[in-house]
Amino acid sequence: MSFFSALTVPGLQQHLSFSREDSAILKGYGILFMIFHHVFGLYALPAGVDTAWIAPQLTKAAPIFKICVPIFIFITGYAMGWKTNSSPTFGSLIKTGFSHYFKFWKIYFLCLLLAILVSWAFPLPILPSVADMGWKNGLLVVTGLRPCYPDWWYMALFAAATMALYPICAWITHHIAPVPSMAALLGVSLLFQSAAHIPSLPGIASSFPPFLPCFILGYMCAFLASRLSALSISHSLGAILLLALEILSIHLFSFSKAKTLTVIFLFTLWCLPWITRKLRLTPLLTLLGTYSALMWLNHRFIFGYHFSWDLYGTQSISVVFIVTLVSSLLLAMAMQKLFNRMIPSNPQTQSKTL
């Protein structure tokens, strides 16, 4: 079998395909990386905290785990790349994107209510009070377009990806042939990467352009995996080349100036699920992945802002990490049960969103 013939075999499609279990494993790593980054590397540690158990070098390496955001947004792009619409009109595609966002928003709103209760019971001067906001800011907070807590900024990125970028990507792939579609998606990605260097982007939107190409990469993988077998050898070669250029552009221009991060990001996507199965860690990572959205929303505002001093009172940063991870998971499981009772017809909404 020649090299060019191998481009159309099922094995290549398999490398572009991520199963539900793969996605759950990746989300599990995503939330693990996020909590690790927040505990070990995001904020200054109180004096006297013991880091010897995990070695000081691990604290210095914590910024590496910022790849949690590219992981989550890639999975979102991949999931939406498989969506099909009976009507390819732009309005219909916007409706599909809104529907995907609304599933996540229901979880966010539940967490927002809990955050308001916690803020009322344990007020902190460093955090905004919803009661003190004007109606415009309050509306933005409720919709998720402006974070109530700094760590919830991803909600706005998710909204931009699902309700704005997805309709553009889907319109392109509905109306243009596969290979030109891949070229157009690459062009959109490069446009966002160029926009990352525009200093005048307003507020939180300035953080979007470096990460949205990862959404496009996920969308391109799903789009190509579903159509590769139907393409000719020359078209397959062209599509694979365009996908490779998208990966290269992310490595060179996207979410991090430290090129090591993009290498680790790509390694995580294509190698960690396989390694996880070999090490028989799949049940643990899929458990974390299933509750990743709620863990992301609850781990900082409860176990970071409000009760961090009590946790740091242990004088061991490693204990802080373990307690935060386990407590966040247990709270997420309890919140999921509450969520299922509130909306019993759709008990698995949370696990399918991020």
159-174 pLDDT per residue, tens: 999 999 999 999 999 9
Per-residue pLDDT, 313: 60
Cα distance between residue 124 and residue 126, in whole Å: 6
CA–CA dist 44, 318 (Å, integer): 15
Q: Does 231 or 214 have the greater pLDDT score?
A: 214
When mean pLDDT is compared over 31-40, 52-61, 78-87, 169-178, the highest value belongs to 169-178
DSSP state of 273: H
The residue-averaged pLDDT of 266-273 equals: 93
Q: Do 63 and 37 meet the contact criterion of CB atoms below 8 Å apart?
A: yes
Residue with the larger pLDDT of the pair 134 and 250: 250
Region 35-55 average pLDDT: 64
- Per-residue pLDDT, averaged over 181-199, amounts to 87
The pLDDT, as a whole number, for residue 204 is: 65
Mean pLDDT confidence for 49-54: 56
Flag whether pLDDT at 127 surpasses 70. Answer: no
pLDDT band for 209, please (50, 70, 90 cuts).
Answer: confident
Would residue 84 be called left, alpha or beta, if left means φ above 0 and alpha means ψ between -120 and 50 degrees?
A: beta
Whose structure tokens read 């539900």? 20
Higher pLDDT, residue 86 or 247: 247
The per-residue pLDDT for 7 is: 44
What whole-number distance in Å separates Cα of residue 145 and Cα of residue 261? 27
Question: Cα–Cα distance between 353 and 341 in angstroms, integer?
Answer: 18
d(CA 10, CA 153): 39
Instruction: Say what percent of the chain tops pLDDT 90.
Output: 43
Flag whether pLDDT at 350 surpasses 60: no
Report how far apart, in Å, the C-alpha atoms of 348 and of each of 84, 214, 334, 345 are. Answer: 21, 25, 14, 9
Residue % of the chain over a pLDDT of 70:
77
Mean pLDDT of 211-232: 91
Indicate the range of 87-91, 167-171, 293-297 predicted with least confidence: 87-91
Highest mean pLDDT among 43-47, 180-184, 190-194: 180-184
Spell out a b/e string for 245-265, using b for 16 or more CB atoms within 10 Å of the CB, else e: ebbebbeebbbbeeeebbebb
**Across 299-303, 317-321, 323-327, which has the greatest mean pLDDT?**
323-327
d(CA 293, CA 282): 18
- What is the domain extent for residue 53? 5-352
Q: For residue 77, name the pLDDT band (cuts at 50, 70, 90).
A: very high
Average pLDDT of span 99-111 = 91
* Distance between CA atoms of residues 77 and 302, nearest Å: 29
Least confident segment among 183-187, 242-246, 336-340:
336-340
Cα separation, 320 vs 260, in Å, equals 27
Q: Cα–Cα distance between 343 and 346 in angstroms, integer?
A: 6
| pTM above threshold 0.75 | yes
Distance CA 278, CA 268 (A): 15
Mean pLDDT is lowest, of 9-18, 49-58, 251-260, 272-281, for: 49-58
Q: Is the dihedral of CA 4, 270, 292, 348 positive or negative?
A: positive
d(CA 82, CA 110): 28
Task: Read off the pLDDT band of 10 (50, 70, 90).
Answer: low
If one compares 267 and 3, the residue with the highest pLDDT of the two is 267
Tell me how many domains the chain contains.
1
